[in-house]
Structures are given as C-alpha cells and as structure tokens.
C-alpha cells in the first residue's frame, strides 16, 4: 500500500475513533463510572500501554527542563482536557460538545497571535469569524436543548476543555519537535496518571461498573475507551503524520464532530434540528480556512500582517 495512502487512512481512522469516543463516554459516565475515575483509568492504562511499547523503541534521554514542560503540558492536555471532557458530557449533548471541541484550532490560533507572534492572514481572519458565528449559534440554540441537563454549563465546560487542549499544544510546541511522539506520549500519560492517583485510587472499587450491576455491554464500552481510544487513537495519529502534512491532518479532525453527531443522534442522546448542521458547517469551514497555508505568492510580510492592518483599519495588501 502507498505510504501516503497509509497516512491518510491512519489519520481518518484515528479521528473516527475519537468521534465515537464522545457518545460512548457519555453512556459510561451517565451510568457506570464517574468522570474523574474514568479519566484516571484512561491515563493509567495509557501509561502502561505506552511505556510497554517504549521498551521496544530506542529510548531518548529527556532533560529535566523538558520533563517539566511535558508535565505542565500533561496537566492541561491530559488531566484538565480529559476531565473537563467527561464532566461536560454530564451536562450537554455529544453534538454540542463535539462542535465546541472542533474549534480547538481556532483557539490555538488566537493564543498563538499573542504568545507565538503568529501571522494573521485574511483566510485565518475569515476562519475565526465563521467559527465564532458557529459557536454563537451553538450557544443560542443549545440553551433550549431538552436532551441536556444543564446545557449552558456543559457548553462552558466544553470551551474550557478546548482551551486546555489549546494551551497544551502551545506549551509542548517546542518539545514535540525535539523528541519522538512515543517519548512525549508515554511521559504525558505517566504524569497525568500520577497527578490523578492520590484522588482516585480509593474511589475505583466504588464505581458501578465494578459492582454486580455491571453488564457485558458496559465492560465492552469501557474496554473500547481504554484500549481503542486511548491507545490505538494516540498511536495512529503520529503514524499518519509521518506520511501526510499536519495541515491535512488538521482538516481530517473535522470527522470527529460529524461522527459524534451522527452516532449520538442514532443512540438517542440528541435530536436532529436545523441549527446543528448549520453550526457544523460554520465551525468546520472556519477551521479549514485557518488550517490552509498561504501561497508563497500571497504570503504576508511579517512586519505587516493582517491582524495589525485590521486594527489600524488599513486595507490588506499581499506582498
């Protein structure tokens, strides 16, 4: 099989898995396990799996300073994001959550403008506007959702989850290019599991899924989340990025809200309404615009980017 085709398939399959995880996670936390216990199990199992895989890969020595960076990133990208993910699904529906999380590249771009001096092109500006319009539609329509217990709170937690993951991407930007993906992943899961261990180790036996009420279906759902989502999903992403561009991979991330929405509606966790596909189109179109790289011919000069010109109310001109 063509290497590039393998890369495309790996990224697509990973995003389908991540999309399925949203309605499945909601099923688990609604009945079988608390959000914090669920997050701890994912981090602990992920640490065991990736450290086991690491034994068969050439080891890299990580400096203490970079370990601290990975630990900070692990808190935002693994502990905070995954915990907020699980808690948010207690209050809102998988459709609204997945649409908010799809805005992560937009939030990363906005933070990059201030912290990484990112170039703000016309495409990126248009993408931000479209995605914000989609988010506004989600918030306005979500307030009347009958399928959620507290949709406003759930949407706020979803935004915080997306923001936390965006911070993780900013914090680990430099170390992610210095080390192999397996090195970053195994240390991230280990730090995350260690952070949650003191709070969750005693509560695990009290989870409903470990009681007599548990069913075969509940165990299968948990195994799917612990093994396929936590391990296979995180393995497929770096495998795919070996053969395709990161910008292409970021566009494939838009499969997640589509898969999550379709499955959630089929499972009865949400109902179809006109504003959901419209919000999805706005958010996804915005993310695609943000992900597109400018042509060399139209690449803006660093001393005159669109954001600065917009603030000065000047006309944008390509160089």
What's the per-residue H, E or C state across 219-264?
HHHHHHHHHHHHHHHHHHHHHHHCCCCHHHHHHHCCHHHHHHHHHH
Question: Which residue would you say has higher pLDDT here, 260 or 4?
Answer: 260
Task: Please state, in angstroms and as integers, the Cα–Cα distance from residue 269 to each residue in 7, 145, 262, 288, following that order.
Answer: 32, 11, 10, 28
pLDDT, mean of residues 157-166: 92
SS3 150: coil
**Alpha helix stretches (DSSP H) within 102-146:** 104-115, 122-142
Q: How confident is the model at residue 14 (pLDDT cuts 50, 70, 90)?
A: confident
> Please, what is the average pLDDT of the chain?
83
How far does the chain reach from its first CA to its final CA, in angstroms?
41
The reported pTM is 0.81
Of how many residues is the chain composed?
319
Give me 84's structure tokens: 């907020």
Give me 276's structure tokens: 């959901």
Give yes or no for residue 113 having a pLDDT over 70.
yes
Are 275 and 319 within 8 A, CB to CB?
no
Give me 309's structure tokens: 């010109």
CA 270, 225, 75, 250 dihedral sign is negative
Q: Which of left, alpha, beta for 313 (phi over 0: left; psi -120 to 50: alpha)?
A: left
The predicted structure's pLDDT at residue 276: 77
As a whole number of angstroms, the distance between CA 126 and CA 156 comes to: 24
The predicted structure's pLDDT at residue 254: 77
Q: Burial of 62 by CB count in 10 Å (0-12 exposed, 13-18 middle, 19+ buried)?
A: middle
Crossing angle between the packed helical segments 151-171 and 81-91, to the nearest 10 degrees? 170
The predicted structure's pLDDT at residue 228: 84
pLDDT, mean of residues 253-277: 83
Question: Which residue would you say has higher pLDDT here, 22 or 230?
Answer: 22
The predicted structure's pLDDT at residue 304: 44
Residue carrying structure tokens 């771009």: 109
- The CB-side HSE value for 23 (13 A sphere, CA atoms) comes to 20
Task: Please state, in angstroms and as integers, the Cα–Cα distance from residue 189 to each residue in 125, 161, 182, following that order.
Answer: 35, 17, 11
Residue 25: closest CA among 104, 87, 101: 87
Q: Between vectors from CA 205 to CA 203 and to CA 210, what angle results, nearest 5°?
A: 130
Give yes or no for residue 245 having a pLDDT over 80.
no
The predicted structure's pLDDT at residue 294: 62
The predicted structure's pLDDT at residue 117: 67
């Amino acid at each position: 099989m063509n290497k590039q085709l393998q890369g495309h398939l790996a990224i697509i399959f990973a995003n389908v898995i991540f999309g399925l995880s949203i309605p499945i996670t909601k099923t688990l936390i609604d009945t079988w396990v608390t959000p914090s216990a669920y997050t701890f199990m994912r981090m602990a199992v992920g640490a065991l799996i990736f450290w086991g895989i690491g034994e068969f890969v050439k080891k890299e020595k990580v400096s203490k300073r970079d370990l601290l960076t990975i630990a900070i990133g692990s808190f935002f990208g693994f502990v905070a994001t995954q915990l907020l993910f699980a808690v948010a699904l207690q209050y809102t529906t998988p459709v609204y959550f997945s649409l908010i999380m799809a805005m992560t590249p937009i939030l990363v771009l906005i933070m990059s403008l201030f912290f990484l001096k990112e170039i703000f092109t016309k495409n990126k500006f248009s993408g931000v506007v479209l995605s914000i319009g989609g988010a506004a539609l989600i918030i306005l329509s979500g307030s009347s959702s009958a399928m959620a217990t507290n949709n406003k709170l759930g949407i706020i937690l979803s935004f915080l989850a997306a923001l936390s993951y965006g911070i993780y991407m900013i914090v680990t930007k430099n170390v992610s290019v210095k080390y192999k993906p397996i090195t970053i992943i195994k240390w991230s899961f280990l730090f995350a599991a260690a952070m949650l261990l003191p709070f969750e180790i005693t509560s695990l036996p009290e989870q409903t899924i470990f009681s007599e009420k548990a069913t075969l279906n509940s165990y299968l759902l948990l195994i799917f989340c612990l093994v396929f989502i936590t391990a296979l999903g995180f393995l497929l992403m770096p495998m795919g990025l070996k053969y395709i561009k990161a910008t292409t991979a970021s566009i494939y991330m838009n499969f997640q809200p589509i898969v999550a929405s379709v499955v959630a509606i089929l499972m009865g966790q949400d109902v179809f309404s006109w504003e959901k596909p419209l919000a999805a189109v706005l958010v996804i179109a915005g993310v695609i615009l943000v992900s597109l790289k400018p042509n060399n011919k139209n690449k803006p000069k660093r001393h005159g980017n669109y954001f600065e010109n917009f603030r000065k109310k000047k006309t944008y001109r390509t160089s």
